Amino acid sequence: MTSMSYDHHTYNCFSDAIGNNGLTQDVFENLLENTKPALEKLRSYYADKSLPILHLPERVDDLQHLYLLANQYREKFAHIVVLGIGGSSLGAKAICKLAKTNFAPRPEIPMMHFWDNIDPESITGMMQALPLEHTLFLVISKSGTTAETLAKFLVCLKAVSDVVDKNSLTEHFVAICEPGENILRRLAVKNHILVLDHDPDIGGRYSALSLVGLLPAMILGLEVEKVRAGAAKVLDPVLKGEEPKNIEAAIGAAISAGLAAQNIRSTVIMPYSDRLAALSLWYRQLWAESLGKEGKGTTPINALGTVDQHSQLQLYLDGPVDKMFTIIMLKCAGEGPCVEPALANEEALAFLSGKSVGDLMEAQQNGTTQVLIQNKRPTRIITLDKLDETSMGALMMHFMLETIITAHLFSVDPFSQPAVEEGKKLAWQYLADQEK
């Protein structure tokens, strides 16, 4: 049990349970000991302020101005569109799912949209469907050079200019990018658009606790101080110099790195809440982009319970033993509508009579985790008493720390993405060649 917003337990990760695919106790203890330099480095980063994500949980000084903007945008616009991709979008999307605005419009809260991809049909359809005169666009690119984001920004700028007067145009856009010379900042200044500074020392996939993730959440009325407070609780034992055995992220890193050496080369994250589906996408980028270097890393796979019990569980239980499973469970017994006994009066339906959909969800969570354990699949269970801003911040900080510590064990840089950058250069070159 932890003193934080979640419980974290592992099963079937050791050789005495699963044989040759598991860790020996000695290997695990050595790996856990080897997390100490990473933990010390994190404390050093905190001391010299060279890794700002470690200071974000304790900060409130940057929120007042953002709240003023958020309140202004909430009152003025019916729709908010985030133009970003990857780390400029996924963290915000994960947090915003807490707002519960997916089911019915709330007049006092704008509808939030995330335009990640550049599928031309989707972009065209969305621009036609939205009342652009009542829409705010948050244009987010850390570097200010992301081709997809720039393209979406420019086409939206033209579309909005066709329906509002020139003096109002600038009010429909906010740009977020790092300081200094870059294309996005230059375009924003040219068009008299507000520019907010993205901290250049915070990588996109680590930016969820910065204005990138929090400003959209603020607009939806979420209490972002609680997001940071949840993160702070998880970070606290690291900064206090606790032993690795008392730090859940260090335990998770040691197990992940150890199992990778035993050919457990994929990691499945499977939350049992629709509101956490976006978190698993955020985690997928965080893990893949941070660790997939120099032939190292494990492949993150996102799944969603109970949906993927019916599409993937057969492989997980009866396929190769090459995956670690992270199941995120939410206590939900008794919640939601109940099955009317009079409608479930057949013997085959007796098990559902009078039960809520939350009862069924909790039974499915427990059943899936038990069958994974019984089939000797490396499994960890993260259990939440409730899903709110605090627990979301805790989960995000846990996974960020776990990723950074695992990178140390793999001897790779968790903050670079050289292969991705090369792909961006080639895309730019392809477009340039088309002009010739």
What are the tens digits of pLDDT across the range 252-270?
999 999 999 999 999 999 9
Alpha carbon distances (Å) from 4 to 8, 117, 232, 237: 10, 35, 10, 11
C-alpha–C-alpha distance, residues 247 and 238, integer Å: 7
The pLDDT of residue 98: 95
DSSP 345: -
The pLDDT of residue 360: 94
Tell me the pairing of strands 299-302 and 266-271: parallel
Q: What is the mean pLDDT of the chain?
A: 94
Task: Please give the angle made by the CA atoms of 324, 314 and 354, to the nearest 5 degrees.
Answer: 100
Domain ranges of the chain: 7-40+226-408, 56-225
Catalytic residue list contains 8: no
For residue range 111-163, list pLDDT tens digits in order. Answer: 999 999 999 999 999 999 999 999 999 999 999 999 999 999 999 999 999 99
Catalytic residue list contains 172: no
Catalytic residue list contains 289: yes
C-alpha–C-alpha distance, residues 399 and 287, integer Å: 8
Report the candidate in 286, 285, 330, 323 with the shortest Cα–Cα distance to residue 304: 330
Beta strands in 157-246 (DSSP E): 173-177, 194-197
Other C-beta atoms within 10 Å of 5: how many? 24
- Give the pTM: 0.94
The pLDDT of residue 151: 96
The pLDDT of residue 382: 97
Task: Please give the angle made by the CA atoms of 159, 192 and 208, to the nearest 5 degrees.
Answer: 80
The pLDDT of residue 101: 66
Q: Which of 166, 190, 310, 436 is catalytic?
A: 310
CATH superfamily name and code, 56-225: Glucose-6-phosphate isomerase like protein; domain 1 (3.40.50.10490)
The pLDDT of residue 434: 74
C-alpha–C-alpha distance, residues 237 and 57, integer Å: 13
Q: Report the pLDDT averaged over residues 174-199.
A: 97
DSSP 142: S
Hey, do 7-40+226-408 and 56-225 end up sharing a CATH topology, with the first three levels equal? Answer: yes
Q: Report the pLDDT averaged over residues 193-218.
A: 97
The pLDDT of residue 5: 82
323: helix, strand or coil: strand
Q: Place 405 in a pLDDT band, splitting at 50, 70 and 90.
A: very high
The pLDDT of residue 436: 62
Q: Between these two residues, 3 and 77, which has the higher pLDDT value?
A: 77
Q: Which of 289, 362, 389, 402 is catalytic?
A: 289
Q: Place 3 in a pLDDT band, splitting at 50, 70 and 90.
A: low
Give the chain's length. 436
The pLDDT of residue 108: 84
C-alpha–C-alpha distance, residues 201 and 206, integer Å: 10
Fold of 7-40+226-408: Rossmann fold (3.40.50)
The pLDDT of residue 433: 76
Q: Report the pLDDT averaged over residues 13-34.
A: 94
Q: Place 1 in a pLDDT band, splitting at 50, 70 and 90.
A: very low
Tokens representing residue 260 in the block? 């990778």
Task: Give helix 120-129 / helix 147-161 axis angle, nearest 10°.
Answer: 30
The pLDDT of residue 419: 78
